[in-house]
């Protein structure tokens, strides 16, 4: 079961931001382009979030490689201004 969110209104340039309301009244600004094409104010949406373990590991590995590459080109020593 997803998290229920109601569409309160659309804002921004070209009404490109959907203002979504949670059950407790908190607002979430969300790109309208990611909503179903026929979504309109008053509609209730169901959102499900899940952790993507494989993508998380890939980002960590990519970041580690960039850091290692930077360390390999670092001449070391103190920074002189």
Mean pLDDT by 10 residues, the chain (81 residues): 94 96 96 97 95 97 94 79 66
Residue 80 has a pLDDT of 65
Q: Are 16 and 33 in contact (CB under 8 A)?
A: yes
Give the CA dihedral 15, 10, 42, 26, nearest 10 degrees.
Answer: 160
Which pLDDT value is given to residue 9? Answer: 98
0.75 exceeded by the pTM?
Answer: no
């Amino acid at each position: 079961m997803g998290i229920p969110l109601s569409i309160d209104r659309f804002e921004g340039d070209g009404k490109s931001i959907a203002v979504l309301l949670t059950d407790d009244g908190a607002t979430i600004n969300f790109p309208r382009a990611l909503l179903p094409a026929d979504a309109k104010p008053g509609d209730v949406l169901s959102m499900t979030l899940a952790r993507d373990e494989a993508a998380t590991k890939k980002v960590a590995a990519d970041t580690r490689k960039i850091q290692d590459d930077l360390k390999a080109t670092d001449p070391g020593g103190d920074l002189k201004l």
